[in-house]
Amino acid sequence: MTINDIDNTIINKNGNDQKQKRINEEEQSVNSLSSITGKPRIFDEKSKKQFDEDGFLITKDLLSSIEKKQIIEYADKILALPETAGKWMQYYEITGGKRLLCRTENFLEYFPELDQLIRGKITDAISELLGERAVLFKEKVNFKLAGGAGFNAHQDAPAYTTFNQRLHVTALIAADKCDKENGCLEIVRGEHKSGMLPHPGGELETSLVEKWEKEKKWEAIELESGSILFFGSLLPHRSGKNNSNRSRRAYYVTFNTESDGDFRQAYYTDKRNKFPPDVERIPGKDYSEGAKVYNLSNPIPVQTD
């Protein structure tokens, strides 16, 4: 064996040792207990860094096959709920002259098993991304039925200022497959670092939207049923019209840090008062002020009478 052979053997050994060290560190990171939840960690350091850098993270297998099936079954049940005052909150859009159910909120009390999933595994995942224990702020299903309208470009943060929380992270849980044809979410990677951006009239400033279009920065996030997109409230996003004959039902479950307080009940009390669902509205009452907070970039009519 020559000196060069010995050198190459040492280099290969060192390279293999470093590779194995990285593998061991990644396995240890995933298998170790989270200092936040006290349970096995869901995300490794690489995933956490990716979330911090990009403003979003996609997971395909956080939910088990049984849980993915439950997500679809509960979406069916939530869609079938009757319009009822004082309980779940349903909002409609008018598309093609038809009244379509756009969104249902405030429903977890009526589905204990779904509530347990959201306040369990999903809360643990969000806690790791926030870096401290998370608490549920609000939940909704956007149905985007066949022919349903899209949502204009916006950040969520301007709609979350009422209770002065510092941070919010949302889990978009796909009940249906989300693709370009049925109006999947589109995001601008990394723009969360720009902070809260101007929203004249409740929508992101047109010049910014057009600038990102010219720069081809809008990315379509296509998801299989049961996959989850985690994103922060400062990430610009939008979605197009559902041009398919399929629904694009997706849960949007939003959390803030526990240290900022539990405001879920206060949120729905305030929203029910300022921008209630159709079934609870007082004829002739003006809800435009409430819409400035609770109807940003949505296809939901401000006035329904």
Q: Which residues, other chains included, contact 64 with Cβ-Cβ below 8 Å and sequence gap of 6+?
A: none
Where b means 16+ CB within 10 Å and e means fewer, 251-268 reads bbbbbbbeebeebbeebe
> For residue 143, what pLDDT is reported?
98
Quick one: which H or E segment has residue 122?
A: none
Please check whether residue 128 is in contact with residue 36, taking contact to mean a CB–CB distance below 8 angstroms. Answer: yes
Q: What is the DSSP string of 142-210?
A: E---TT---EEEE-SGGGGTTTT-S-EEEEEEESS-B-TTTT-EEEETTGGGG-SPP-GGGS--HHHHH
> For residue 304, what pLDDT is reported?
67
Over residues 214-243, the pLDDT tens digits come to: 999 999 999 999 999 999 999 999 999 999
> For residue 303, what pLDDT is reported?
79
Q: What does DSSP assign to residue 86?
A: T
**What's the rounded Cα separation, in Å, for the pair 30 and 16?**
21
- Return phi, psi of residue 52, to 5°: -65, -35
Q: Nearest-CA neighbor of 58 among 240, 197, 248, 235?
A: 235
The model carries a pTM of 0.89
> For residue 155, what pLDDT is reported?
95
Over residues 7-38, the pLDDT tens digits come to: 555 455 555 666 665 555 555 444 577 889 99
Question: Could you give the 3-state DSSP secondary structure of residue 229?
Answer: strand
Pairing of strands 56-59, 228-232: antiparallel
Please check whether residue 127 is in contact with residue 37, taking contact to mean a CB–CB distance below 8 angstroms. Answer: yes
> For residue 4, what pLDDT is reported?
55
Place of tokens 């756009």: 102
pLDDT averages per 10-residue partition of the chain, 305 residues: 54 61 51 84 96 98 97 98 98 94 98 97 97 97 97 93 93 98 98 94 92 96 98 97 98 97 98 97 95 93 79
